[in-house]
Chains A and B, each alone.
Chain A
């Protein structure tokens, strides 16, 4: 009757959850001083690094761990009983991406908290909770666990966005995100309940088996046990819930205001960690539970991908604010990641995952530089970046490299390889129209990435503000360096990503 727990399998989220408790207690019992702030940041950093070591060890040992399985006596299906928590290749890749990005976000937070009135204990506690959700989600193999993990990723982010008190933009961002998120969760829960009602199981593998036993072919001689109409509604509702998390059209409009209103580390978290978690859930539901229904969801995802990349790029064209531009560009990038799933070929998941890993490295790097520049004061508009190459050569060159990577031009080879992998998959899947849409979008995106890069190297007319130093600045330098090292490594040796993603 009792599910056995394999603590080695759940070590990564367990470490994060325990560290979250430790941070909360430390904050409650230590005096409120500047040193406490630094201590809490370092404890959080240690926790994330410890959690990151777990997938590394699990990958080296190569074991496929399963836990929270249905006890053998209670399983209704023949074969091995379904499990709720599985550590496999996908879990490890997504967990490592979320935690590596988490290290950068913690470093950005240390710089952010060093000079603002944001309460540090609550900030780091919420950050660790989000990371625990982001690590649990790719390991979840039942619908209830997926929904709970997804909520664990989202709920702390509302509070994080609003923690900068007496800041109207931050509060607006938090409220906007909260409302959209709650509605999308409700929509997804309805879809999930329909899936459960149709198949009688919450485990993804059991759902797939039940749906495979009842072929959904309209006009078949034997009437299907699973009504196609209801199944279609369920699939569309579940898709809508995840579309919000990855900011896909038509659930993209919150992105601009929320990214701009929230503190920069939260925007970085939303654009990489929250997005990776959303994609993990989407990939799990589509390719595990609904693998046999690719004809049903494939075209929907393809159209969503085309709309998302186009809307993101067109909105990014007009932006004058750095974070807003990155917000819409990350919406467009979501479209590129979705595209291989739309053709639902054999290599679709590796192509999406490869793009996501490379995107994570270059986007978190770009956010690290934006966080550094926002410390100089100013409103973080694109014009504030004029002449950055002369004031701060290293961050400016790093940002130029990240932007060129995002655009997919040499020398930013990692971005180019990512796009090639996706193109190859789309063309092999026979979706020529999607490849054309993506090619046009890549050209549109060149304009705003290159325009920003060019600003870095044009001489500024205004006198340069004095650059800050101290522990905050060094945390930012480390964050930028981490992003740069990853992006350069992926550019020099793209086979690194392509092999782990496959």
Chain B
């Protein structure tokens, strides 16, 4: 088959295989990461002396004795704050690439206004949250 000079017919599956082969780097990086992490823990285990006492076996919590159970209720208000944070985080994802191009030739005023339209919609959400007294703690 490969002996004559003509090009091999390109089948669909070979394209797909090439595509997935490009992910080999990701797999290698993942494997290296796991190896370094596991290696460090293993090396520490092999080198350190091991004399456990009940105090040493308690959960580490900032150097103080832990209080209560692991399943502790936290204030529901943190949930809303997390949401608001996510809004701004996503907002920044759009703002950074925009900031690099809006002054470039071919963009200009329309691009500037478009982003402020987007920000106005987010502002609407903040205004609503403020009026519904989400932003006050008590």
Residue positions of A touching B, CB distance < 8 A: 1-2, 21, 24-25, 28-29, 197, 223-224, 226-230
Complex contact A25–B10 (CB within 8 A): no
In the docked arrangement, what's the CA distance between A458 and B128, Å?
51
CB neighbours of B19 from chain A (8 A) = 197
Complex contact B12–A29 (CB within 8 A): no
CB neighbours of A24 from chain B (8 A) = 124, 128
The chain A residue with its CB closest to the CB of B10 is A223
CB neighbours of B13 from chain A (8 A) = 227, 229
In the docked arrangement, what's the CA distance between A2 and B16, Å?
34
CB distance from B98 to the nearest CB of A (A): 13
Number of A-B contacts (CB under 8 A): 36
Provided the pairs A24-B124, A28-B127, A28-B132 are in contact, do residues A223 and B111 lie with their beta carbons within 8 angstroms? no
CB neighbours of A197 from chain B (8 A) = 19
Is B136's beta carbon under 8 Å from chain A? no
Complex contact A2–B111 (CB within 8 A): yes
In the docked arrangement, what's the CA distance between A230 and B9, Å?
18
Q: Which of B11, B127, B128, B132 touches A223 (beta carbons < 8 Å)?
A: B11
CB neighbours of A227 from chain B (8 A) = 11-13, 15-16
Residue positions of B touching A, CB distance < 8 A: 9-13, 15-16, 19, 106-108, 110-111, 121, 124, 127-128, 131-132
CB neighbours of A226 from chain B (8 A) = 12
In the docked arrangement, what's the CA distance between A451 and B107, Å?
65
Complex contact A28–B10 (CB within 8 A): no
Complex contact A2–B110 (CB within 8 A): yes
Complex contact B107–A1 (CB within 8 A): yes
The chain B residue with its CB closest to the CB of A227 is B12
In the docked arrangement, what's the CA distance between A197 and B16, Å?
10
In the docked arrangement, what's the CA distance between A1 and B104, Å?
10
CB distance from B93 to the nearest CB of A (A): 16
17 contacts between A and B (CB under 8 A): A2-B106, A2-B107, A2-B110, A21-B124, A25-B127, A28-B127, A28-B132, A197-B19, A223-B9, A223-B11, A226-B12, A227-B11, A227-B12, A227-B16, A229-B12, A229-B13, A230-B12
In the docked arrangement, what's the CA distance between A24 and B9, Å?
60
CB distance from A282 to the nearest CB of B (A): 26
The chain A residue with its CB closest to the CB of B13 is A227
CB distance from A27 to the nearest CB of B (A): 8
CB neighbours of B127 from chain A (8 A) = 25, 28
In the docked arrangement, what's the CA distance between A25 and B9, Å?
63
Complex contact B12–A228 (CB within 8 A): yes
Complex contact A224–B124 (CB within 8 A): no
CB neighbours of A224 from chain B (8 A) = 12
In the docked arrangement, what's the CA distance between A419 and B114, Å?
47
In the docked arrangement, what's the CA distance between A29 and B10, Å?
65
CB distance from B108 to the nearest CB of A (A): 8
CB distance from A327 to the nearest CB of B (A): 32
CB neighbours of B16 from chain A (8 A) = 227, 230
In the docked arrangement, what's the CA distance between A5 and B108, Å?
15
The chain A residue with its CB closest to the CB of B12 is A227
Complex contact A28–B131 (CB within 8 A): yes
Which 9 A-B pairs rank lowest in CB-CB distance, beginning with the nearest? A227-B12, A28-B131, A1-B106, A223-B9, A2-B110, A28-B128, A24-B128, A21-B124, A1-B107
CB neighbours of B15 from chain A (8 A) = 227
The chain A residue with its CB closest to the CB of B8 is A223
In the docked arrangement, what's the CA distance between A319 and B45, Å?
64
Complex contact B131–A29 (CB within 8 A): yes
The chain B residue with its CB closest to the CB of A21 is B124
CB distance from B23 to the nearest CB of A (A): 13
Known contacts A25-B128, A228-B12; 17 additional CB pairs below 8 A are: A2-B106, A2-B108, A2-B110, A21-B121, A24-B124, A24-B128, A25-B124, A28-B127, A28-B128, A28-B131, A197-B19, A223-B9, A223-B10, A226-B12, A227-B11, A227-B16, A229-B13
In the docked arrangement, what's the CA distance between A227 and B19, Å?
13
Residue of A2, A228, A230 with highest tally of chain B CB at under 10 A: A2
CB neighbours of B10 from chain A (8 A) = 223
In the docked arrangement, what's the CA distance between A228 and B13, Å?
10
